[in-house]
Amino acid sequence: MTTNSPSHSFAPIVNSAAEWRAEMARLNKPGQPSFFHIRTQLPKQGRTNQVLGASRYMNVVLKTYASGGENEIHAHSNEDHVFVILQGGAVFHGPNGETREAGRNDCVLLPAGTFYWFHAKEDREELVMLRIGAHIDPDSDVLARIDLEGKPFDGYSEKNKEVPV
């Protein structure tokens, strides 16, 4: 194992699914461990995604949301993933009106095909989550999302309430 001195620089913010895929490809180092440090700048509005680590079967992303930030209902068809809330709080919603609040140190596991959406709690500080995803089929698009009608759904679209940071 080769070790480098620790780097505490910021991981780049990815602004599209294509950038997310490219960053996962760049970070995928088969047969080598990956070391990373969780560090981010908090957004005043919108949200950010920073890919921290990736392998053929997994990816780790640091996600930040300004207070009140949200997304639209969707499911990931090729990935199980878990959110670990590091700061702030969120309300998770299911397709039938179910809701569940989650705060610091709470986690939610979402198997592939689970429909959900969430929003950052407005009465708390910015939402910071670690997102760890596991690919179901690494030869298919890990970022594939669908809406309630089963149609492809771009996570960086206006429909997903994407706003500039």
Average pLDDT of the residues in 107-119: 96
Q: Is the pLDDT of residue 9 over 80?
A: no
Q: Is the pLDDT of residue 1 over 50?
A: no
* pLDDT score recorded for residue 157: 59
Average pLDDT of the residues in 15-38: 94
Average pLDDT of the residues in 37-56: 91
Work out the burial of residue 105: count CB atoms within 10 Å of its CB; fewer than 13 is exposed, 13-18 middle, 19 or more buried. Answer: exposed
Rg (CA), the chain: 16
Say which DSSP state 57 is in: S
Name the CATH superfamily, with its identifier, for domain 17-158. Jelly Rolls (2.60.120.10)
Q: Which residue has 């910071």 as its token pair?
A: 128
**pLDDT > 90 in the chain, percent:** 68
| Segments making up each domain of the chain, as ranges | 17-158
| pLDDT tens per residue across span 54-71 | 999 999 999 999 876 767
Q: Report the alpha-carbon angle 111-16-96, nearest 5.
A: 35
**pLDDT > 70 in the chain, percent:** 87
What is the rounded distance in angstroms from the CA atom of residue 80 to the CA atom of residue 113? 8
Q: Exposure string (b/e) for 49-81, b if CB count within 10 Å is 16 or more?
A: bbbbbbbeebbbbbbbbbbebbbbebbbbbbbb
Sign of CA dihedral 110, 112, 51, 163: negative
